[in-house]
């Protein structure tokens, strides 16, 4: 997934690219938080839990660079949605743009980026490749459980068993 992420990062579609990373368009606010090492995700969570529960997600150097580009694309506007489009029109536009990028670079669905993040995060937390990448669990059961708990929280899921869809089973 590293190559796919690098190709996505290199795309020269700044507003669309930035919007894919900061879907609700609060790039400047996210960038301010990211300078402290993490961003609190409160939008786009399952069942709206994000507004009631903190979901601090660490920000990598790549993510920080992406947030800087998104904030620059946002400029002084309230969000990344162009003023002549409504939210629904804008998200339809993003999905259409993603379809073109996906086909051009041989990538999967937009949701696959969550799996890529989860696998990268698993490797950071567990010190071993995710079972989906390695074919089997390499980390100890204790480390595996701890990594899955963190990833579940960061992805906005309340249950660690859901993480298996992203990083692979417990086997």
Query: What is the C-alpha separation between 65 and 89, in angstroms, rounded?
Result: 27
Is the overall model pTM greater than 0.75, yes or no?
Answer: no
Q: What are the residue boundaries of the structural domains of the chain, listed by start?
A: 11-105, 112-167
Strand positions, DSSP E, the chain:
38-40, 56-58
Task: Quick: pLDDT tens for 111-138.
Answer: 788 888 899 999 999 999 999 999 999 9
User: Within the chain, which residues score under 70 in pLDDT?
Assistant: 1-25, 42-53, 170-171
Backbone phi and psi for residue 40, each to the nearest 5 degrees, phi listed first? -90, 110
Query: 12: which 2 tokens?
Result: 């020269």
Residues of 36-74 as b/e, b for ≥16 C-beta within 10 angstroms?
Answer: eeebebbeebeeeebeeeebebebeeebeebbebbbebb
Q: State residue 49's pLDDT score.
A: 54
């Amino acid at each position: 997934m590293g190559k796919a992420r690098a190709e996505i990062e290199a795309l020269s579609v700044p507003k669309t690219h930035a919007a894919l990373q900061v879907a609700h368009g609060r790039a400047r606010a996210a960038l301010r938080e990211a300078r402290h090492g993490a961003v609190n995700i409160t939008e786009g969570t399952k069942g709206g839990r994000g507004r009631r529960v903190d979901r601090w997600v660490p920000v990598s150097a790549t993510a920080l660079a992406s947030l800087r580009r998104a904030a620059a694309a946002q400029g002084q506007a309230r969000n990344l949605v162009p003023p002549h489009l409504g939210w629904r029109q804008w998200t339809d536009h993003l999905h259409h743009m993603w379809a073109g990028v996906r086909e051009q670079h041989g990538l999967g669905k937009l949701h696959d980026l969550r799996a890529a993040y989860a696998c990268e995060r698993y490797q950071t937390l567990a010190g071993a490749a995710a079972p989906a990448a390695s074919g089997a669990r390499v980390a100890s059961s204790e480390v595996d459980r701890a990594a899955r708990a963190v990833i579940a929280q960061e992805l906005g899921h309340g249950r660690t068993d859901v993480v298996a869809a992203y990083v692979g089973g417990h086997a």
